Every structure is written in C-alpha cells, then in structure tokens.
Structure 1
Amino acid sequence: MAEDANSSAKYRTAAAAVEQVLRQAVAVAVPGMSAAALCSYADSLVEAICSSVFRKDESIERGVAFPTTVSVNRIIQNCSPAAGEDYTLREGDVVKIEVGAHIDGFISSAAHTTVATNSPATPVVGRRADAISAAYHASEVAVRMIRPGQSAANMVKALGLVASGFGCTVAAETFTSQIDRFVVSGRNTFANRFNPNVPVPNLTFEAGEVYTVDCTLSTGNGVARESTFSPAIYQRDVGQQHSLKLRASRTLFTSVRNQHSVFPFLMRGVVGSNQALKAGVAECVRSRLLVPFAVTMDKEPGDTFVAQFKATVICHHTGPVRLTRALPMPNVQSATSIPAESEIGQILALDCEAASLPELPRLKSQIQAPIPTQQPVDQVSMDMS
C-alpha cells in the first residue's frame, strides 16, 4: 500500500515517468502530427524510462500499464490507431493524451487535454474552451475529494455540478478506480457520471487507498457509442478458462501469455503482420479470454468536443496526495467561471498536496520525437457521425 516505503517509491517513480512522458507527448501534439506516431513515441518513452530505474532488481516487471491513447474531439477514450486507421492532427483539434506506467505492478496514470494549434498564444474560446475548462476543474475538484471519510456519492454529485455549470456533461463509461499492485481497477470503482438507474456505491475513501480519477467531460450528451476505429487495446481476463478450438487462437493466446501479464496491451504488438495470429482474435474474445477496449465517442453529432484530465491520487490520513501532478492548463478562455463562494469553489479551495517525485536518470539512448508532416486531404476523421 501507499504507506509502505518501497511501494511508495515505486508509485512515485512511475508517476515521475508518466509526468515526463506526458509533457513530451503534449509538446509535439501539433497540427500535422500522426496520432499513431504520437502513441508509439510515448509508449517507447515509458518503456525506456521504466527500464532505467530500479536496475538492481532486474527481475521486476515494469513498463506500460496502459497503452498511450490519443483521442481527438468527439472520441471519448481508448484510441491508439494502427497505421491503416491513422489520424493526422488538425488545427483546432481537442487532443486527449493518456499515459500509464508501472514499476513492479505499482501503477500511475494521467491524462491531459491540449489543443493542436500553430498559434499557441491565441486563446481558445467557445465550446472547446468550455469542455477543457469543465474537465480541468472537475479533475481538480475530484482530486481534492479523495480524503478519508468523503463519499463516492458526493464526488459524483460535485462532478455533475461542475459539468452543468459549463453546459457540459460527464462522459459515460469513465470511472474513479481504486488501484493496487497489478490491479488497474479494484473493488472500489464507480462511474463518474450519475445514472438514476445505477446507484452510486455506498463507499467512503479510506487512508492508504490509491485511486485513478478520470474526469472526461463533453459538450454533447456524453452518451458513449462505439466509433469506427477498431479496438487496438486488449487485456487478459485471468479469471477465465476456456478450451480454444482453432490453432490460430491457441497460438495467439500463448503469445499473449508469454508477452503480457495482467496489464492491457496493444494487439498489433502481438500479431504484427502475422495474419494467422490475427485470425485467432475473434475466438479469444468470444471465449472472454481477451477483453477488447472499445474506442468510444460521444453519440451527439456536430461540433461536439470531449476533454479529459486524469490523475493518480493517494488518500492520505491528512488529505489527498497527488502522485501525477497536473500540467499547465491549456490557453483557453471559457465564458463560465466558478464563484469562490459556491459549493464547487469551496472544494477547489481545499488543500491538495503534490507528491515529491524522484529525479529520473538520463536515458542512455535518446528517443527521437516524431516530426509533423503535411496534413493529407483525405484521412480517417475522429469526428465521424
């Protein structure tokens, strides 16, 4: 748990890696940048950084805890496009980048929203600004509520108040999740979007727990549907057992078990160009041995924008301790503000400690950032209706 010195050091080191990678990825999220190249770049950085720490114990598992995703505009989550479905960032795109790392199973993850632009000094206004401001403030509220005795129900209520204040909604299928060693989504996991048909779990946060808080807000109705992007991220369900019929399925699943433990992974990293392995994916999914992460988008068409900020937080007995520190908010100007005397304003005024993160070693081999290219006229659109 977080109070143990060894596990705390690993949590903090993973958080330092995530922060560094996220900063570098956001810096190159500019018009003309390939989303596929950006995901690959960030994942390579995570692997390289994690390989450079705790080197005396080479036997421990480390690296990507969740593959980097780059989800643009209406896309809600889980987009790590393959080359055939790549998307080139355009001027004005609202770009959500999520990064996850672990050291010996101790996980830190974070997400940040930026705007792809060649004019960063010009403030972003309108509904883009509303979505980003709403998600940013929702995240800051949620982080401050990870304190002993606070309830999940109160957090969900507060997130709804922030969203409605900016004329936005909390996106469906986004969660606050308790994490633990090798556990991405623990027993205390709940949806951040209020649903009258699904009661919020009757739980209160307790000292020593660690949470990831995913605040994803939309200018649309927030209802999620699958996009046209194929699932790229999968995870083993270690609780399932099944006798596979196809040789391709058995070979694929053996490769997955040999290459990956419990963390989500990119299927293209396992399959590569081997079409025989690809043929086994469907049976593994039907048998529930592998679970795909659908790429979802807001169901409402038109100029709908989704923004995301995600943090990893320790519930300390003195209050929240933020492992993954927030990057500077994008240059946005929303017409909406939060009064200091309001309920939300009072929550934002609460203290939130930033964890002291270790200094990471310099990489022996630098990983070159991808270079933006001229944007093609025809490309897969992340704004598909």
Structure 2
Amino acid sequence: MTTYDEETLKKFRLSGKILRETREEMRLFVREGMPIIKVCEKTESLIREKGGKPAFPCNVSINDVAAHYTSPPGDTRRIPEKAVVKVDLGVHIDGYVTDTAFTACFNPNHKRMTEVAELALKTAVANVHDGMAVGKIGGIIENAIKNRGFKPISNLTGHSVGRFLIHAGTSIPNVSQLSLTKVRTGEIYAIEPFVTLPDAEGRVEDGSEKTIFRFVKTKSLKSSYSKKLSKYIEANFKTLPFAERWLRGGVPKEKYGDAFRELLKSKSIMAYAVFIEASGKPVAQAEHTVLITDDGCEVLT
C-alpha cells in the first residue's frame, strides 16, 4: 500500500476539511420533499466554492437503495416522506481523495438504525491502529451493529483511497473475515458501515439503474463526437467517477446521446449499477476517511 509525504498529506487534510464542512452543511440542508438533484448540485457546488473538486457525483440513495444513485440530467425525483436518505460525498485536491457519508433519517422507526451506523463507525475509528487486520476491523463493526439488534450489509465494504482513485485496492469489510491484509501507518482508508434491519437479507444486489460512470481506457471510436467526448471525460475526471450532468459541455447537445452510447458500447467508459438491499429493507450508512497512525488513526473528515 501507498504511504504519503507531508506535502501530500496536507492535500488530503485540506480535502478532508472541505468535505467535513460540506457534510455538516448538507446535514442541515436535506429535507423531505426536496428534489434529489437539488441535494446533488448543492453538495457539489459547496465543494467547489470551498476550493475542492467533487471526487465523484454526490450519491443520494433512498431507503433500500444502499449506494450509487445520483441524479441524471433533468431528474424529477424528490425525497419521499419518512425516507432514510444516505448522502455520500467526496472531495479531491490535486487528485487526493477523501470520502464521507451520513444518513438523514425522516422516519422515526428507523432513527435507531441510523444512530447505530454512526456508533459502529465511531467504534471502528476508536479501535483501528497500525498492524490491525482488515478482517478484525470488520468484526468490530459487525459486533457493534449486531449487539444493538441490527444487521450489517455483508457485501459492501470500506476501501483504501489514493490519487484519482476512490477504491485503491484494499477493502475494509463490515463483517468479520479471515484476512492476512493489515492496515499500516501512513495508509489512508474510508471506513463505512452499512446497517439494515435484523430481518433483512443483509446484502445488496445490482439494480437496473446506472447513473454514475467512469473512464476506463481510450478505445478506437467511429464518431468524431465520441472521440471528443472521450477526451473531455479523460481530461476532466481521469479515473474518478462522473455523472452525465457534468458532461453537457463536452459535445453539441444534439450529438451527445449517440456519442455517449458509443462510449458505453465500446467500453471506453463503465457504468455503476445502483446497489439495492436484497430483501427491500432500508439501509443506513456512516463514513469517515482516516489516516492510520502507530497507535490509532487521524480522522480526516
């Protein structure tokens, strides 16, 4: 795994500061009935106003949708009444990524589940240290959730982060696992418990919607507009995820649809499916990015 010099750590810390401020402002902003696109665009504009860049499109995942929903262009959906709303946001400074999430819960029946996600995160952060196996971190998270009467999502994980990389290779499970992989001083990880109800399946499946994308590689393309759009995506986002909302300046509006479809068909870009809890139960999430230290960790977000 990668460790970082002090100049690079300054960029991670600035990224985390911007993200922390944005998260806390968005906690106060999100409301029932609000257009989802308003949440996405407000989050992303705050990040830019504070001097950062979005590391990925703001995710607003509601109820049984656990992750990976962002508003497509012209989205008309609104946050429903009594919703469990997960807001996942990221910042990069010169490519150095931090990642955080919170749950806005408007359903009194699920307030405790939301609190347990935060408690599980707090417990993991309080216990992680240099040399700890990632499977043990997962066990700490799992116990914190199950001991309070809820269930972790077993196939969603935290992850190492890197330069222009949201998932940099190492996963931090949310359940106990046998693993030889250990976290080390100087490495940076996003820890993110996902919590659901005790009678849920406790795992996610791919949904049919795909609203987040990522550049994969330059391919041979037929259309000059596809080539132009591919170059625009690579230049602006590199290997970080993006939303179609961010692409309207890439090519003329009337050429955009065909160009984007060719990029998908050629696998120049990939699409992320939304993740849905397999039994349709609501999910809560909490997340911090941390820098591992000899005797613990520094919370960057």
TM-score by length of 1: 0.70
Secondary structure of residue in 1 paired with 2:82: coil
**What's the counterpart of residue 82 of structure 1?**
72
1-side partners of 2:149 and 2:267: how far apart? Answer: 39
- TM-fit CA distance, 1:39: 0.5
Change (3 A) 1:234 1:147: same
**What's the counterpart of residue 377 of structure 1?**
none
- Aligned partner letter, 1:215: P
**What's the counterpart of residue 288 of structure 1?**
267
- TM-fit CA distance, 1:307: 0.4
Change (3 A) 1:280 1:300: same
Secondary structure of residue in 1 paired with 2:50: helix
1:166 to 145, 148, 160: 148
2-side partners of 1:20 and 1:141: how far apart? Answer: 22
1-side partners of 2:145 and 2:20: how far apart? Answer: 26
CA contact (8 A) 2:73 2:245 kept: no
1:208 to 162, 186, 192: 186
- TM-fit CA distance, 1:319: 1.3
Pairs within 5 Å for 1:93-108: 93-108=83-98
Pairs within 5 Å for 1:52-63: 62-63=52-53
Higher helix proportion (structure 1 or 2): 2
1-side partners of 2:18 and 2:76: how far apart? Answer: 26
- TM-fit CA distance, 1:293: 1.8
- TM-fit CA distance, 1:208: 0.7
2:201 to 209, 221, 225: 221
Secondary structure of residue in 2 paired with 1:86: coil
**What's the counterpart of residue 369 of structure 1?**
none
Change (3 A) 1:200 1:245: farther
**What's the counterpart of residue 179 of structure 1?**
161
- TM-fit CA distance, 1:200: 5.0
Percentage identity across aligned positions?
A: 21
- Aligned partner letter, 2:300: L
- TM-fit CA distance, 1:266: 1.1
2-side partners of 1:165 and 1:87: how far apart? Answer: 36
1-side partners of 2:73 and 2:154: how far apart? Answer: 28
- TM-fit CA distance, 1:246: 4.5
- Aligned partner letter, 1:311: H
Larger Rg: 1
Q: Which runs of at least 4 in structure 1 moved beyond 6 Å after TM superposition?
A: none
Q: Deviations over 1:56-90 (max 9, x none)?
A: xxxxxx51112111111111001112355432223
2:285 to 308, 313, 322: 308
2-side partners of 1:166 and 1:81: how far apart? Answer: 33
Secondary structure of residue in 2 paired with 1:259: helix
Secondary structure of residue in 2 paired with 1:280: helix
Change (3 A) 1:283 1:3: closer
1-side partners of 2:154 and 2:41: how far apart? Answer: 27
**What's the counterpart of residue 67 of structure 1?**
57
For the aligned residue pairs, the C-alpha RMSD in angstroms reads 2.4
Q: Indicate yes or no: 2:23 matched with 1:5.
A: no
**What's the counterpart of residue 40 of structure 2?**
39
**What's the counterpart of residue 120 of structure 1?**
none
Bigger shift: 250-259 or 208-217? Answer: 250-259
- Aligned partner letter, 1:277: Y
Secondary structure of residue in 2 paired with 1:46: helix
CA contact (8 A) 1:29 1:116 kept: no
Pairs within 5 Å for 1:244-255: 244-255=221-232
**What's the counterpart of residue 147 of structure 1?**
129
- Aligned partner letter, 2:169: R
Secondary structure of residue in 1 paired with 2:24: helix
2:212 to 208, 230, 233: 233
- Aligned partner letter, 2:195: L
2-side partners of 1:295 and 1:193: how far apart? Answer: 21
Secondary structure of residue in 2 paired with 1:95: strand
1-side partners of 2:219 and 2:263: how far apart? Answer: 9
2-side partners of 1:94 and 1:309: how far apart? Answer: 12
CA contact (8 A) 1:251 1:277 kept: no
Bigger shift: 36-45 or 201-210? Answer: 201-210
1-side partners of 2:180 and 2:152: how far apart? Answer: 20
Secondary structure of residue in 2 paired with 1:66: coil
- TM-fit CA distance, 1:159: 2.2
1-side partners of 2:71 and 2:20: how far apart? Answer: 22
Higher strand proportion (structure 1 or 2): 2
Which residues of structure 2 form unaligned runs of 5+? none
